[in-house]
Amino acid sequence: MDLKRILKTILPGLIPLFVFILVDEIWGAKTGLIVAIIFGIIQFFAIYVKEKRIDKFVLFDIALIVLLGLISVVLQNEVFFKLKPVFIESILLIILGISAFGKKNILLIITGRYLKGVDFNEDVQKKMQNSMRLMFWIFFAHNLLVVYSVFRMSKEAWGFISGVLFYVVFGIVFIIEFVRNRYFSKTDSEEYLAEVDESGKIIAKISRTTAHDGSKRLHPVIHVHVFNSKGDLLLQKRSTTRKIQPGKWDTAVGGHIKFGENIEDAIKRETYEEISIPDVKVDFLTRYVWESEIEKELVFVFITFFDDINFSPNDEVEEVKFWKITEINKNLGKRIFTPNFENEFQKIISNIKFNFQINYQR
């Protein structure tokens, strides 16, 4: 999708060059120069009438044709005009280089002006930047080949390399990106979350990957603590394949609130997915901000009461078990539980002690 935007933004400005090459082959350089300039002016006004915008790239292309064309005609030297595609592609390479490897995405800014109202979220920007890095090196090699053709190859070969081959290269890049995004990229199927402030107000839309990349973008999660009638606390043992805290015991239910999802639906979904309890009824206990090495969460804590758990192991949870409170206390700090659970355990016991009639011993 991003390559289509780039093509739409940049390629129309190169059309006058191909007009010059075609006319030059039939009627000569002077005629080619005049026709190319006229064509460029017509193209400029056509874009203005149709899209109500001034295409600065087409204007720049016309100006460059005039400058290099006049130099070529006056000095009777084709080299100056043949180098025009090199100058244009060098400018493109500078823009691509800054956008792909620097902090300021100039190409995204240019594209955004033509596509007002389109949301370029952080993941789209990263994907676009990766595409631009690939394009930079391909066009860098192409530009070197154009320079070589100016001095070492025939006019016909130069015309193909600087013109037709440019579009062919763009097409190859587009196909590579399409195949990679269609069959090898997981971005489109990735879960999206809300970035929030500490009051829970939504600030932005981010991916799960971004939420866990160390940038500490605050995002909401739910935790549900399940007690039985004896006052024992249900814990889940995280799968050993999990990237975060594998194989450790953790809160019975914990999960992200998806972007656009309300807390109630997130609780029902996660509780059913992780411990197979449908339509769970919960009570709100507290909320707090938890920060680890890779993420920062706004945690909404709930409790519920359930005796019979019909659990089947899944990709996320290996086992569930009711623990006595005294047993949990004895094993704190021994790397049996996740750090998040150990921190939260003190909070829930303190809150439950004053708000719920649960018989337990410390």
Per-residue pLDDT reduced to its tens digit, 71-125: 666 656 667 667 777 876 787 788 788 878 877 666 666 555 444 444 455 556 6
Q: Shortest CA distance to 285 belongs to which of 262, 265, 258, 304?
A: 304
Domain check: are 183 and 218 in the same one?
no
CA distance 345 to 329: 9
The structural domain count of the chain equals: 2
88 CB-near residues (< 8 Å, 6+ apart): 13, 14, 17, 61, 64
Q: Does the pLDDT of residue 258 top 90, yes or no?
A: yes
Query: 126 with 250, same domain?
Result: no
Say if residue 248 is in the same domain as residue 142.
no
Tell me which residue range forms the domain holding 61.
2-188
My answer on whether 129 and 232 are in the same domain is no
Question: Would you list the DSSP string of 247-273?
Answer: T-EEESEEEEPBTT--HHHHHHHHHHH
Residue range 11-35, pLDDT digits in tens: 555 566 667 666 765 676 677 778 8
pLDDT confidence of residue 271: 92
Same domain, 220 and 284: yes
In a domain, 362, yes or no: no
In a domain, 194, yes or no: no
Mean pLDDT of the chain: 79
Q: Does residue 332 have a pLDDT over 80? A: yes
Phi, psi of 85 (to 5 degrees): -60, -30
pLDDT value of residue 361:
39
Closest residue by Cα to residue 55 from 63, 45, 65: 45
Dump pLDDT digits (tens) for 265-285: 999 999 998 888 888 899 998
Residues 239 and 282 in one domain: yes
pLDDT tier at 39 (50, 70, 90 boundaries)?
Answer: confident
Among 31-35, 65-69, 241-245, the least confident range: 65-69
Domain assignment present for residue 168? The answer is yes
pLDDT at 58 over 50: yes
The burial of 317, by beta-carbon neighbours within 10 Å (0-12 exposed, 13-18 middle, 19 or more buried), is given as: buried
Do 261 and 178 lie in one domain? The reply is: no
CA 141-146-147 angle, to 5 degrees, is 100
Report if pTM > 0.75: no
Q: Is residue 207 part of a domain?
A: no
pLDDT classification of 352: cutoffs 50, 70, 90: low
Both tokens of 248, joined, read: 């450790």
DSSP reduced 3-state for 188: helix
